[in-house]
């Protein structure tokens, strides 16, 4: 699988006596759907900002689709390649209508005015907000706000999108809609990196990375993750389906079958 993202021996700290990421190395292939999990303070959101070039490594290197986010000459290309959706959509809104919000991003990457209309329509269709193009973002529901923020990212046609706990402020219906959108983007070949504390959502991805004290403590299949990892140690909760599986004494089931049983118990 061709490489989309590589972290190579990355270190990062806000204060020198408190490293956030320590000697972090991993790769993500094009088209992968990866979940990144970990307890509070494990470095998840810092990692997301390093991907998009909002932060720079203190040591090591990040490579995004052959580009270096630490190189000022390449930052614009990096941000065209990688989109970032924040936990709180209000943190991303700076204009007065949904359309203007999308246009602002397109102007930043110098999309010709003649192309903007098609991109806006396509992005609104993907997030099912066609009827809200002229609405003010602050008048939307929580789920609609998040979808509007995602539309602004998708209109720039990134190859990778990082969802940084993008479902954490949504109700169950909104979370379900968001997961369906991630699945659709994944089916279209987009690389998806989902940072989440909802363990039910991890089963939607094909791979999970567990961060602990700035290092990777697990990298592999979600089914094996829930079988092998000591979630209590990392302040994580098992999803309902995993608890049912354990109660039924099915720990020895093959990982693929176990994964199916968990998804059947918690359909998102």
Name all domains of the chain by residue range, CATH numbers in brackets: 3-265 (3.40.50.300)
In the predicted structure, residue 262 carries a pLDDT above the cut 80: no
**Alpha carbon distance 157, 192 (integer Å):** 13
- Cα separation, 217 vs 195, whole angstroms: 15
**How many CA atoms does the CB half-sphere of 257 hold within 13 Å?**
6
Q: Supply 103's token pair.
A: 């246009």
Please report, rounded to a whole number, the percentage of residues in the chain having pLDDT higher than 90: 58
* 161 three-state secondary structure: strand
Residue 215: the pLDDT is: 93
pLDDT at residue number 251: 57
Per residue in 51-88, pLDDT tens? 988 899 999 999 999 999 989 899 888 888 999 998 88
pLDDT of residue 145: 92
Q: Check residue 171 and give its pLDDT.
A: 85
Hunting for tokens 């994964």 — which residue is that? 259
Provide mean pLDDT across the span 220-230.
Answer: 87
Phi-psi region of 97 (alpha: psi -120 to 50; beta: other; left: phi over 0): beta
Average pLDDT over all residues of the chain: 88
- Give the per-residue pLDDT at 60: 96
pLDDT tens column, 160-181: 999 999 888 888 888 888 899 9
- Answer for the pair 148, 140: CB distance below 8 angstroms, yes or no: yes
What is the C-alpha separation between 140 and 220, in angstroms, rounded? 38
- pLDDT at position 24: 96
Looking at per-residue confidence, does 200 or 248 come out higher? 200
CA–CA dist 188, 159 (Å, integer): 10
In this predicted model, what pLDDT tens digit does every residue of 8-47 receive, in sequence order?
A: 999 999 988 889 999 999 999 999 999 999 988 899 999 9
> Among positive and negative, which fits the CA dihedral 230, 208, 82, 138?
negative
Mean pLDDT (whole number) for 132-150: 92
Which tens digits make up the pLDDT trace of 232-259? 888 888 776 666 666 676 655 444 554 5
What mean pLDDT comes out for the span 116-145?
93
User: What's the pLDDT at 257?
Assistant: 52
Spell out the alpha helix ranges (H) of the chain.
Answer: 44-51, 75-81, 98-108, 113-126, 142-154, 172-187, 199-202, 222-228, 240-247, 255-265
Residues in the chain: 268
Output the pTM of the full model. 0.87
**What local confidence, expressed as pLDDT, does residue 255 receive?**
47
Going by DSSP bridges, is the β-strand pair 3-15/59-64 parallel, antiparallel, or unpaired? antiparallel
Q: Please, are residues 209 and 34 in contact by the beta-carbon 8 Å criterion?
A: yes
pLDDT attached to residue 87: 86
Could you tell me the two tokens for 218? 């697990």
What is the predicted pLDDT for the residue at 265? 46
pLDDT over 90 (residue 89): no
**pLDDT value at position 268?**
45
What pLDDT was estimated at residue 147?
Answer: 92
49 pLDDT higher than 80: yes
Neighbours of 25 (CB within 10 A): 12
Identify whether the C-beta of residue 39 lies closer than 8 Å to the C-beta of residue 235.
yes
């Amino acid at each position: 699988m061709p490489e989309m993202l590589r972290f190579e021996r990355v270190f990062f700290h806000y204060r020198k006596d408190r490293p956030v990421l320590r000697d972090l190395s991993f790769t993500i292939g094009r088209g992968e759907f990866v979940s990144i999990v970990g307890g509070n303070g494990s470095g998840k959101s810092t990692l997301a900002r390093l991907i998009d070039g909002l932060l720079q490594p203190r040591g090591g290197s990040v490579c995004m689709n052959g580009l270096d986010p630490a190189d000022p000459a390449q930052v614009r290309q990096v941000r065209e390649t990688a989109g970032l959706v924040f936990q709180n959509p209000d943190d991303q809104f700076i204009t007065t209508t949904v359309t203007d919000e999308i246009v602002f991003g397109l102007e930043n990457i110098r999309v010709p005015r003649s192309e903007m209309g098609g991109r806006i329509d396509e992005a609104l269709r993907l997030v099912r907000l066609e009827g809200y193009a002229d609405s003010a973002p602050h008048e939307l529901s929580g789920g609609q706000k998040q979808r509007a923020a995602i539309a602004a990212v998708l209109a720039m046609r990134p190859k990778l999108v990082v969802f940084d706990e993008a479902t954490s402020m949504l109700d169950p219906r909104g979370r379900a809609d968001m997961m369906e959108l991630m699945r659709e983007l994944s089916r279209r070949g987009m690389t998806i990196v989902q940072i989440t504390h909802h363990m039910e959502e991890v089963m939607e991805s094909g791979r999970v990375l567990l961060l602990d004290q700035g290092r990777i403590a697990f990298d592999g299949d979600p089914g094996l993750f829930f079988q092998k990892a000591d979630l209590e140690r990392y302040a994580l909760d098992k999803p309902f389906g995993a608890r049912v599986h354990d109660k039924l004494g099915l720990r020895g089931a093959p990982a693929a079958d176990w994964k199916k049983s968990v998804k059947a118990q918690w359909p998102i």
